[in-house]
Amino acid sequence: MRNAFLFIRRHFNFLFFLVLQIIALSFLFRYNKFHEAAFLNVSTEITGRFNERYNNIEYYFQLKKTNESLVQENLRLRQQLKENYEGPDSNRRQINDTIRADSGRSIVKYQIMEAKVVNNTTALRANYLTIHRGFAQGVRTNMGVTGSQGIVGSVINVSRNFSIVMSMLHPNFKVVAKLKKGGETGTIDWDGLSPNFVTLHAIPKSAKVAVGDSVVTSQTSSLFPANLLIGTVDEIVPDNSSNFYMLKIRTATNFSNIEYVYVIDNTQYDEQKALEDSTRKKVQ
């Protein structure tokens, strides 16, 4: 307290002048319309610039939270896609007095969960991703993985809290694809060259295909719902030795900046695979 009094006493003249100056300026701005308007304009400009800087800083630190909320919102929207539901055949109905008739309600064929990418390669001959979800969170092998732009790969190994995804940029990754326009189907694989392109094989030359056409997943894929984007046609290469095209596809997914993915659980995969495997054994 004594130091405060000493400070005021030492600088009394300056402080008194400062107080009088503030009072004088307040009278000037309060009772003079021109000066009041000028002061408001300057103060508004200064305040606006300060708030802009503050908002930019706050926005930067909120990016992670915003990104996570967008992932959750996309997850909710993906869960509502009609491709995730499969209804029973409505053309035939069995009616029996002692058995309740089928209600005809659709069932959820595909369930989707989000996952954060914690490791990813794109420059190797065989590329993988590691995601922060494992069997404790419901992930198992042979689940499809997609991103916000297009498909990514499939789950091949699972631990308690992590999973390894075989990237589409892997020579062993295959997926049945189709041209969105005509519906002709073929098989997608990667030639090991550019991480931006994959190859679609076995598209007949009778197909009406053009550069820029979309390529999507087929309804015959067991890992993915139908009509998920794979990429767009970048180049059409005719094979003179056959009646098929080889199409160079630019991938919809940018594999160099994947942060979040969606793991797709085909709830009927085990039943379908068991039936197909048992049928193969019978006919051999």
- CATH code of 202's domain: 2.40.10.340
Domain end residue (candidates: 32, 64, 96): 64
pLDDT band for position 66 (50/70/90)? low
131 and 44 share a domain?
Answer: no
In this structure, is residue 70 part of a structural domain? no
pTM metric for this prediction: 0.66
126 and 267 share a domain?
Answer: yes
In this structure, is residue 76 part of a structural domain? no
112 and 218 share a domain?
Answer: yes
Q: What pLDDT is recorded for position 52?
A: 54
In this structure, is residue 95 part of a structural domain? no
In this structure, is residue 81 part of a structural domain? no
In this structure, is residue 118 part of a structural domain? yes
pLDDT digits (tens, 9 = 90+) for 171-197: 999 999 999 998 999 999 999 999 999
What is the percentage of the chain residues whose pLDDT exceeds 90?
Answer: 43
Looking at per-residue pLDDT, the higher value among 236 and 108 belongs to 236
Low-confidence winner among 53-57, 188-192, 222-226, 242-246 (lowest mean pLDDT): 53-57
Structural tokens at position 99:
């058995």
Where in the sequence is the domain holding 145, given as residue range(s)? 107-277
Evaluate if residue 129 carries a pLDDT over 80.
yes
**Which residue matches tokens 């000493």?**
6
Mean pLDDT, rounded, of the chain: 79
Domain end residue (candidates: 64, 89, 117): 64
154 and 271 share a domain?
Answer: yes
195 and 141 share a domain?
Answer: yes
114 and 199 share a domain?
Answer: yes
Strand duo 229-238 + 214-217: pairing: antiparallel
Looking at per-residue pLDDT, the higher value among 61 and 141 belongs to 141
235 contacts: CB under 8 Å, gap ≥ 6: 211, 247, 248
Phi/psi of residue 55, each to 5°? Answer: -65, -35
Q: Stretch 61-79: mean pLDDT, rounded?
A: 61
32 and 154 share a domain?
Answer: no
Which of 169, 135, 89, 146 is CA-nearest to residue 261?
Answer: 146
114 and 52 share a domain?
Answer: no
Q: What pLDDT is recorded for position 95?
A: 32
Q: Stretch 18-23: mean pLDDT, rounded?
A: 78
124 and 235 share a domain?
Answer: yes
138 and 250 share a domain?
Answer: yes
The domain tally of the chain equals: 2
In this structure, is residue 6 part of a structural domain? yes
In this structure, is residue 86 part of a structural domain? no
145 and 228 share a domain?
Answer: yes
In this structure, is residue 98 part of a structural domain? no
- Could you tell me if 136 and 161 are in contact, meaning their C-beta atoms sit under 8 angstroms apart? yes
**What is the three-state SS of the chain?**
CHHHHHHHHHCHHHHHHHHHHHHHHHHHHHHCHHHHHHHHHHHHHHHHHHHHHHHHHHHHHHHHHHHHHHHHHHHHHHHCCHHHEECCCCCCCCCECCECCCCCCCEECEEEEEEEEEEECCCCCCCEEEECCCHHHCCCCCCEEECCCCEEEEEEEECCCCEEEEECCCCCCCEEEEECCCCCEEEEECCCCCCCEEEEEEEECCCCCCCCCEEEECCCCCCCCCCCEEEEEEEEEECCCCCEEEEEEEECCCCCCCCEEEEEEECCHHHHHHHHHHHHHHHC
203 and 147 share a domain?
Answer: yes
Low-confidence winner among 14-18, 132-136, 180-184, 252-256 (lowest mean pLDDT): 14-18
Evaluate if residue 170 carries a pLDDT over 70.
yes
